[in-house]
Structure formats: structure tokens, C-alpha cells
Amino acid sequence: MDERGATVAVDARVGHAGTRIDLDDVTRRYRVGDVDVTAIEGVNLHVDEASFVVILGPSGCGKTTLLNMIGALDAPTSGSVVVGGVDLTHATQAARAAVRRTTVSFIFQTFNLFPGLTAYENVKFGADAARRPGAGERAAQALARVGLGERLRHFPHQLSGGEQQRVAIARALATGNPILLADEPTGELDFRTGVQILEVLEEQARAGMTVLVVTHNREIARVADRVIELSSGRIVADGPPPGGRARIADLQW
């Protein structure tokens, strides 16, 4: 990846309040057919500084549910969720939308790029959504940041999977929002491309963002500042990676 020297302007609120995440005794239950399913139970989680956090666990352990609540896409059944200083526990739809617009940004496993927009326009969408001034410039910078400065006018179908995910990251970066939420960002990608994506994400954490990555891949957790392990909706481990933080270059899967 080239052009990493370029920086993307991050929202002025990045800092203690802007990146802070507080979950207290959070429980989330769903009703599936006739059955009540507890996806998350009694979770307490606090992220108070910019860092690279990995939420680890097997399928169905509740990690995506947790990410959705942090991302203001879902609300807890009980407990409280405060993100970037905004209490989302009983927030209205509009208030949640405002948090998604200005505080968090998403990277999805299946990218979810807009197929009708070019790479540049997809990224610009992020800046437009967050109502950032100079959206075009931010988009160009973000694409350059992820090494796609030469592919501005390409549509998603003209890009490889890795390139599409990088466009998705650039879109998230262009929002300028301080919290980056990534749900299995390497799930659709081969090892080499996945590593490139992790490098970009790690770099954002170093640049002052809070990056939360949800994954079932233990290898990825090795490069995190902090690993939160979930099992059956509960946090079973929370701390630095066992054996210390590894370099991305050392990863294997």
C-alpha cells in the first residue's frame, strides 16, 4: 500500500469523550419464533482511550450484537450503553442516527459498497453522510490513505475484494468519526489481503481512533491492544493478547 503518508482529518471530538465507550451490565435478548434468545448478558465494557480492540469469539457468541449496540444499530434490553458521551440506552431513532453519522463508522464483512457509485463517490458518501466540509478532498485523501489513489473512478465491480474492502475502510475514514467498528473485516478476503486490511486498521488506532474489530479469528487478536473474548453472550476474558502483542507481519492463518 502506497501513499500512507497522507492523513485523514479526524473529527475534533477525537479524544477522551469522543472515543469513549461505556457498557454497564448490558443484556440483549431476542425473541426468535417462540424462543427467547439471550445474545448478550450482563456485559460491562469500557474503552476510554484510542486503541485497537478485538472482540473475539465463536459464531453466535454475541459479538456482532455487541458491536451493533456500540454502533447505535441496536438497543440493550437492560443496562446502559454510552458511546462518545451519548447515552444510547433509551435514545430515539434520530439520536441513534446522529451517533452513527457523527461518532461511529462501520466496515462490514461484505463491504456493502454502493454498486452504482465509483470508489471516489462511495468514499465521499462517508464524508457527505457525516456532513463534513470538503467532502471531495476528504474522499480523495482517504482513498490515497488506503492505497487506492489511482482508482478513484472505478466502480466496485471493477475492484478486487481487497480493494473493495479498502474502499469501505476509506469510506469509514472519510466520515472523520472517532470510532471505527469493523465486523469480520477480513472474513471475505484471502490471507494476504486480510493482512493489508489489518495494517490499515491498526494504523487508524495509532492515529487516534478507537478501532473495534469483531472476529472469530484468534490470529487477528494477536495484534490488538486489547482482546475481549466472548462466550455465550458473556465476557470471559478481557486484556492484552496472551503472550503480548504481535506484529502483523508475524500473523498466519
Partner 1 sequence: MVTREDPGRPGSRGMWLRWSLRDLRQRWAAVVAIALVMAIGIGVYAGLGSTATWRTLSNDASFAELGMHDLRATLSPGTFAEEGSLAAAAAGIAGAEQITTARERLIVDSQIDASSPGRPVLTAARLVGMDMGARPVVDGLWLREGAMPVVGAPVPQAVLEGAFAEHWGLPARGRVTLAGGRVIDYTGVGAISEDLFYEGPEGSVFSTGELAPVYLPLAAAQAIAGRPGQVNDLVVRVGAGADRDAVQAELTEALAGLGVGATVSTREEAYAVRVLYEDIDNDQLFWNALAGLILAAAALAAFNLISRIVESQRREIGIGMALGVPRRTLALRPMLIGLQVALLGTLAGIVVGVLVGRAMLDLLESFLPLPVYRTPFQLGAYGRAAVLGLAIPLVASAIPVWRAVRAEPITAIRTGHLVARASRLTDWTGRLRLPGSSLTLMPLRNVLRTPRRTILTAVSVGAAITALVAVMGMLDSFGRTIDRAGAELAKGDADRVLVQLDTFRPIDSPAIAAIRDAPAVGEIDPGLRLPATALAGDGGEDLDLLLGLIDFEGAAWTPTIVDSAGAPGAGIVLAAKAATDLGVRPGDTITVRHPVRRDDGTFALADSRIAVSGVHANPLRAFAYMDLAQAGLFGLAGATNILDAYPAAGAGPADLQREVFTREGVTMSQAVGRISEGFDAALEQFTGFLVIAAVAVLALALLIAFNASRISVEERRREHATMRAFGIPVRTIMGVAVREGVLVGLLATAVGVGAGVVFLDWMLDSLARTTVPDVGIARHVAPTTLGIAAAVGVVAVAAAPLFLVRRIRRMDIPDTLRVME
- Cβ closest to partner 1, residue 100 vs residue 226: 100
Integer Cα distance of 198 and 201 in angstroms: 5
Integer Cα distance of 10 and 12 in angstroms: 6
Shortest Å distance, C-beta 195 to partner 1: 19
- Residues lying near partner 1 in the complex (CB under 8 A): 64, 68, 71, 73-74, 93-94, 97-102, 105-106, 108, 110-118, 121-122, 124-126, 128-130, 135, 153-158, 161, 164, 175, 188
Shortest Å distance, C-beta 104 to partner 1: 9
Shortest Å distance, C-beta 249 to partner 1: 27
179-183, strands of its sheet edge to edge: 104-107, 179-183, 210-215, 52-56, 226-231, 234-239
Shortest Å distance, C-beta 73 to partner 1: 5
| Residue 29: partners with Cβ closer than 8 Å, 6 or more residues away | 36, 37, 38, 39, 77
Shortest Å distance, C-beta 40 to partner 1: 13
- Cβ closest to partner 1, residue 115 vs residue 244: 115
- Cβ closest to partner 1, residue 10 vs residue 223: 10
- Cβ closest to partner 1, residue 73 vs residue 246: 73
- Cβ closest to partner 1, residue 74 vs residue 202: 74
Calculate ∠ Cα 192-195-200, nearest 5°: 135
